[in-house]
Structure 1
Amino acid sequence: MPFVALTSVAAVWVVEEMANIGGCEYLTVNFASMLRRAGADVRIVAPYSANPIWTTRLAAAGVEVLLTARDEPSCQGLCRVARATCLSRPPDLIQFLPTGESLRQWCAEPVPGVPVVGLEATSLGAGNYWLSQDLPLLLRQLDALIVLTDAAASEARDRLGYSGPLYVVPHTVPPPTAAIEPWRSRPAVVSCIGRLSLEKGAEIAVLALAHLRDRVPDVELHVWGDGEDKQRLQDLAAMMGIADRVRLRGLFAPMVGVDDVARSSTMMLLASYLEGMPGALMEMAVRGIPIVATRTAGAAAVVGEDYPWLARIGDPADLARCMEHLLTDDAAYEQARSRVAARFSQRYHPDIALQRLLDCYHAIVGRGAPALGRGL
């Protein structure tokens, strides 16, 4: 499916957080770059603290990046910069990621005639403790809402009461430029990728390895990421007697380091308590790395509801069972490889995701038929 040129559409994206190495930042850079290559005019409004890794990549892709002043309150500054660029070069729409405080301040003083779109990349389920309590009120301010999964669309409708135009756009990641072969020597390497924070369940991954050690003794857990739980994970591994099998690898270079992580991995483990649409899982899927994950909505969307190696949330013994199966059964291992790669190609290829987003923008600005997801 070729990229669709859409040179006549201009979009301003207001992104509240770009300082970290996380999923929202990755999504912003990836989709904005694809849109620009397709001919769209994309302007990113971001805080002064935006990580140079991201701003450099956006600039290289031809995406204009507008930052707030150094000492300016973040959301106030984002709205000031967004209003200025909208008034100087009116866009066809303005998009907020996430639908948070910046949207609230924008709606107090909007630029007339510019449709307001929300993009929610996270889980909208009741268990997501960081969602704003007044999110339902904020969603009512939108002219359209974009989410990444059918599960999030259902939550927006049924739990949050959103009744406006609703679109589902699949997340995506760039495929590797060459085939990747996973690590099949010993010790086997189970890789976890993600922020070391409560919702990612890294402690469950450590406990799962402890369950596994007697049945599959020659295996290590490599944890890629950083965060507030780092010391706690080290202490937990020591208490479980597996400190020598748990390696905290820290961060790797975004977008360019993932091939090396994949080559060093026998499988990918995601032990999260909740997920919106896990980019790290997609990075491994597109490279044909077998996946074991907890049955969060986001993980199930990536690998499929009927994927045999989805475990109960918060259950290290069930995760260990799934890992043992893939580590001891070569046929199952190859089946997992082919399943995750095929599903990515069929549902999440960049061309598919870009076309869906362009369809959304066509519909929102009144230049085409409603995209998939409207009216869910």
Structure 2
Amino acid sequence: MLRSKGLATVVEAVSLARAQEPQIELELWGTPDPGNPTSYTVDELNQLTTIDGVAWMGKAPDIATVWERTDIAILLSESEGMPRALMEAAGYGIPMIATNVPGCRSVVRDGVDGFLVPLNDPVAAAEAIVRLARDPASRNHMGRMARQQFDERFSRDAVVPKILEIYSRLITNRENATLVQLPCDHGSQPILS
């Protein structure tokens, strides 16, 4: 529940979307991180639940519970490495809305399995939410495309062979490497080249 994940923008986008489609509801899953100064507090999260259509659910009993209840996954983060939440959503066949930033762009293909929206743009996010809310066929199609991409890129069957290939190359390169002695402040240590 960090500010950098775009929660304020998501809440604003959902409020704008509800003006057009009142049945839209936002569930916020997660708990505050008291050790992180950018985390929302319990009081702040409780305050968000006073907004129509917003519910803070707290800690999820398990990730399947979250995704089985979800029609659209939204991550309007300022920046991401490789967003686990979006990969999970794709694995569950959920269409996604995310900010057009590195990391999110690695998972969400705009117009294929979700929508990429500009950073800090609740109006664009609301438009994407309404578009998916009004079109179950597109939502289902994008969800299938998300699952297909997950299977091809992020599933165990896709990832494990790639990891094994990397380890194999590293072992082969180490066996073919020569030792070079370079002086260091703490003495001379062998360095692989």
So what's the TM-score if we normalise by structure 1? 0.42
Matched, 1:246 2:54: yes
Aligned to 1:261: 66
Q: In 2 relative to 1, CA 336–283 (structure 1 residues): closer, same or farther, beyond 3 Å?
A: same
Runs of 4 or more above 4 Å deviation:
none
Aligned to 2:178: none
Between the aligned partners of 2:134 and 2:79, the Cα distance in structure 1 is 28
Q: Tell me, what secondary structure is at the counterpart of 1:309?
A: strand
For the 8 Å contact 2:97–2:128, the answer to whether it is kept is: yes
So what's the TM-score if we normalise by structure 2? 0.78
Matched, 1:270 2:75: yes
Matched, 1:203 2:8: yes
Alpha-carbon RMSD across the aligned residues, in angstroms, is 2.0
- 1:229 alignment partner AA: Y
Between the aligned partners of 1:214 and 1:248, the Cα distance in structure 2 is 20
Q: Deviations over 1:141-173 (max 9, x none)?
A: xxxxxxxxxxxxxxxxxxxxxxxxxxxxxxxxx
Aligned to 1:337: 143
Number of matched pairs = 166
1:236: Cα distance to partner? 5.1
For the 8 Å contact 2:49–2:55, the answer to whether it is kept is: no
Q: Tell me, what secondary structure is at the counterpart of 1:351?
A: helix
Between the aligned partners of 1:233 and 1:252, the Cα distance in structure 2 is 15
For the 8 Å contact 2:82–2:104, the answer to whether it is kept is: yes
For the 8 Å contact 1:208–1:319, the answer to whether it is kept is: yes
Structure 2, unpaired ranges of 5+: 33-38, 175-193
1:234: Cα distance to partner? 3.9
Matched, 1:232 2:44: yes
Identity fraction in percent: 28
Between the aligned partners of 2:44 and 2:72, the Cα distance in structure 1 is 24
Aligned to 1:27: none
Q: Tell me, what secondary structure is at the counterpart of 1:219?
A: coil
Equivalence map 1:153-192=2 (5 Å): none
For the 8 Å contact 1:268–1:281, the answer to whether it is kept is: yes
Match of 1:296 among 101, 126, 141: 101
Which of the pair is proportionally richer in helix? 2
Aligned to 2:158: 352
For the 8 Å contact 1:206–1:237, the answer to whether it is kept is: no
Match of 2:115 among 299, 309, 329: 309
- 1:334 alignment partner AA: N
Match of 1:326 among 118, 126, 132: 132
Q: In 2 relative to 1, CA 313–336 (structure 1 residues): closer, same or farther, beyond 3 Å?
A: same
Between the aligned partners of 1:211 and 1:305, the Cα distance in structure 2 is 21
Between the aligned partners of 2:109 and 2:12, the Cα distance in structure 1 is 25
Deviates more, 1:226-235 or 1:328-337: 226-235
For the 8 Å contact 1:268–1:289, the answer to whether it is kept is: yes
Structure 1, unpaired ranges of 5+: 1-195, 369-376
